[in-house]
Amino acid sequence: MAIVDTSPLEYDPFSLYDDPYPIYQRLRDEAPVYRNPRRGFWALSRFDDVSEASKDWETFSNAKGILLGLDHSFYGSGDFLDSDPPVHDELRQVLRFAFVPRAISALEPFVRNASERLLDRCVELGEADAARELAWLLPLEVISNMLGVPEGDTGQLQGWCSAILSREPGRDGMSDRAETATRAMRGYFAALAERKRHAPEPDLISAMTAARLPDGRALSDGELQGMCLLVITAGMETTASLISTAMLVLAEHPEQRALLVSRPELIPQAVEEILRYDSPIQQLGRVTTRDVELYDQTIPHGSWVALVYASANRDGRRFPEPARFDILRERKRNLAFGDGIHFCLGAPLARLEARTAIEHLLRRCPQYEVLGTPRRTPYLTSRGLSELRVAFDP
C-alpha cells in the first residue's frame, strides 16, 4: 500500500533536494498552480502548462532574468536568455551559425578526441572523480575551443565557472565568490576580445567582434562579455550535469546499461531518456506581464513564476510510468532544453558530447562502478554532480 504524504506542501528551489521528484509529483497532483507564500513566487509543474508558458514569452517574460527573485541579468546586457524579442532575437542570431547541424558535425572529431583523451586519463588512474575529470572538463574544453580561448587558460576558466554557479547556504542571490569571479571573467574576455579584433581567428569571439546587429552597430563591450559568460557557463553546466547524471543513472540501472553495451545504436535514444528522467536544468524563472488565469487561480501581473521542467518531464499525463527509467520507451518530445524561442541554442552540442562520452565509456569500461555517495552540485537551477567517484576497471 502506497504511503500518502499528508504534510504541508512546500516547494522551495533554493533547497538542495537529494530527491525532488516526490515533491514534483505532489505539485502536479495537488497544486498545478502553486504559490510559495514565504518567498512569494509561483510554480507550474505539469507538462502542458510548462510547455505553453515557455512558448508564451509575451506573457511569461525573461526580461527581468531567469533566476527566481534575482531582478537583473546575471551576466549583463549580452545575456540573451534574460531578454525578450526583439533584443533576444538579435543577440541570439549572432551565435546561431555556430550551432547549426553543419557546424556541430564539424566539431565532432574534436569532441571525440577530447572525450577519449579524458577517459584514457581516468582509466589510467583506475579510480577517479568522473564528475570533475570527465563530465565537467569535456564541455569546458569544447566550449573553450569554440570561443578561441588559449589552451592554457582552461583551468582558470573552470575555477571561475565553478564559483559563478555556486551558492551560499541561506543566501538567495549571487555569492560574493560568484560576483568576484564574474568580474574577473568579464575582464578576461574583454582582453581576449581586444586581441581578436586586431588578429581575428576562426572562432566565436572573433565572430562576435565582427558581428553587426540589424541597426548596423557592433556589439558593445558589455554585450560581448555577457555573451561569452553565457556561452561558457551555460555550455558547461547543462552538459556536465547531463554527462555526470548519465553515468550515475546507468550505474543504478545495470540492465539498461547492459542493453546499451550490446546495442550501442540505442545511445542517442538513451540520452533522450536521461534528459527526461533526471533533467539537467530543473527550473527557470519568468515574470508575468499580465494576470494569468489557470485552474481557477490568478497569477498576478508582475509575479515570479518557476517553470519546473524536471517535473514536466515526469508528468504521467504525457509519459506513462514516468518514474521508470526505460531507454526503449516511446519517443516523445521532452522539455529538458526548454521550449519556444528560448529553446537551448546549444542542445545539439550537448547531445553530441553526452552521446560521445557514453559511447567511449561503455566501450572501454562497460562494468564501471560508482563508489561511495555522489555529491550534488549546490546550484539553483541544475541537478548535476560535483563529485562522482568511479572505479573504471573494477
Q: Which class for 250: exposed (0-12), middle (13-18), buried (19 or more C-beta within 10 A)?
A: buried
Q: Which has the minimum average pLDDT: 259-273, 296-310, 369-383?
A: 369-383
pLDDT tens digits along 50-68: 999 999 999 999 998 888 8
pLDDT tens digits along 64-110: 888 886 656 667 778 888 899 999 999 999 999 999 999 999 999 99
Residue 6 lies in a domain: no
Query: What's the mean pLDDT in 307-329?
Result: 97
Residue 105 lies in a domain: yes
For 389, the enclosing helix (H) or strand (E) is strand 389-391
Residue 209 lies in a domain: yes
Residue 384 lies in a domain: yes
pLDDT at 353 over 70: yes
Question: How much of the chain, in percent, has pLDDT values that exceed 90?
Answer: 78
The cell numbers describing 136, all together, are 565537467
pLDDT at 280 over 70: yes
Residue 7 has what pLDDT? 80
Residue 159 lies in a domain: yes
CA distance 195 to 210: 13
Amino acid letter, 108: E
CA distance 120 to 114: 10
Amino acid letter, 83: S
Whether 95 and 345 have beta carbons less than 8 Å apart is answered as yes
Residue 172 has what pLDDT? 63
The cell numbers describing 313, all together, are 518531464
Residue 56 lies in a domain: yes
CATH code where residue 177 lies:
1.10.630.10
Question: How much of the chain, in percent, has pLDDT values that exceed 70?
Answer: 95
Q: How many domains does the chain have?
A: 1
Query: What's the mean pLDDT in 212-218?
Result: 94
Residue 265 lies in a domain: yes
Residue 7 lies in a domain: no
Whether 75 and 229 have beta carbons less than 8 Å apart is answered as yes
292 pairs with which residues across the strands?
A: 299
* φ, ψ for residue 390, nearest 5 deg: -135, 135
3-state secondary structure of 191: helix
Mean pLDDT rounded to a whole number for the chain: 92
CA distance 248 to 230: 27
The cell numbers describing 181, all together, are 569571479
Query: What's the mean pLDDT in 245-264?
Result: 97
Kindly report the number of other CB atoms within 10 A of residue 278's CB atom. Answer: 24
The band of 117, judged by pLDDT with boundaries at 50, 70 and 90, is: very high
- Give the domain extent around 348: 21-391
Query: What's the mean pLDDT in 206-228?
Result: 94
pLDDT at 1 over 50: no
Residue 75 has what pLDDT? 74
CA distance 251 to 257: 7
* Distance linking the first and last C-alpha atoms of the chain: 38
pTM: 0.94
CA distance 335 to 339: 6
pLDDT tens digits along 134-180: 999 999 999 999 999 998 898 899 889 888 877 665 566 677 888 88
What is the number of residues in the chain?
A: 394
In our burial notation (b when 16+ CB lie closer than 10 A, e otherwise), range 182-198 reads: beebbebbeebbeebee
The band of 14, judged by pLDDT with boundaries at 50, 70 and 90, is: confident
Got the DSSP string for 143-164? HHHHHT--GGGHHHHHHHHHHH
